[in-house]
Amino acid sequence: MKKSPLYSRSRRSAPAGAAVPNASAAVDSAAPSAPAPDEVSAATPDSRRTRLLKRYPVAIGAFLGALLAPLLLVAFTTLQPGQRPITQDDIDSAVRASLEKEPLPSAAARAYETILPSVVRVIGLMDDKDEKEVDENAEQKAMERSLGTGVVIIDNGTILTNLHVVSGAKRVRVRFANGHESEATVVGAQPENDLAVLRASNLPDDLEAATMRSTADLRSGDHVIAVGHPFGIGPSVSYGVVSGLKREFRSSEGEKVLTNLIQFDAAANPGNSGGPLVTMDGHVVGIVTAILNPNEQRTFIGIGFAVPIENAAAAAGMPPF
């Protein structure tokens, strides 16, 4: 295969006296004219770049990519609209929208749900006949005289109520929150605080005892609920506040004086006696024992009294807080 001739950048001078006939023609016929020095120097860098690209295509591509990546990132960030930061107003708006769809129960409702499994209805029967054998009118009359409420404080069936609810009764029956009924006996009493302790003879499954809380940090204005069976209707819940502490109550006959009482304004009526006074965390701070009505109509006018739970627990032989 015929090779193309190589051309040197320098020219040889002809020997002295030698004639070179038709030199230019010979050169033209032998090979194409050599490029001018300017043309050769100008073409050399291009040919080098070409050879480099052919020899190291991957490395050069990676190098160029590394140079272009930051520029592309800056351009993308600049062209894209920035996200607005989430503010507290956005969070509050989302919470409001959620609450509008599914409102949370009130604090009083949560407290009621907490204490309800521990609340019982207490019935003091004034004769030895079975409750079912008593005619309707006589039973209603007996219930009006001795109907009250109690609260389970120990899951062995120990119940706190008012002494006046069971005083004089020949038999005592209790009805638990799930409808289970049982005979009960009086196992303790504290007359000075109008308290009685009952023990149920048979218990429902999974009986729940209430949680008791010290009144040491109780303050006037604290929210409370009273739970019971007013006039035999219930269980019922009423809502109010602690109106005062260390109050004194004298019975209408003037025979009994109760001291160190919690005054509250949650509605209470006959049948609420012995029921729990409950804080918003569902804890018992008192046992409802009396209402004040100057007209002696035995209806609530806004002033109720409860025995502090410390006294009530002592009546059951439980250690103080």
Residues annotated as catalytic (active site), given as ranges: 164, 194, 273
Pairing of strands 236-250, 257-264: antiparallel
Amino acid identity of 137?
A: N
Burial class of residue 277, CB neighbours in 10 A (0-12, 13-18, 19+): buried
Cβ contacts of residue 246 below 8 Å, gap of 6+?
259, 260, 261
* Element at 320 (helix H, strand E): none
The three-state (H, E, C) secondary structure of 182-240, written as one string: EEEEEEEEEHHHCEEEEEECCCCCCCCCCCECCCCCCCCCCEEEEEECHHHCCCEEEEE
Amino acid identity of 27?
A: V
A 10 A CB-CB count for 216 gives: 8
Partners of 308 in beta bridges: 286
- Where would I find the H helices in the chain? 23-30, 37-55, 57-79, 88-101, 107-115, 136-146, 163-166, 309-315
Report yes or no: 308 and 284 within 8 Å, Cβ to Cβ: no
Report yes or no: 116 and 225 within 8 Å, Cβ to Cβ: no
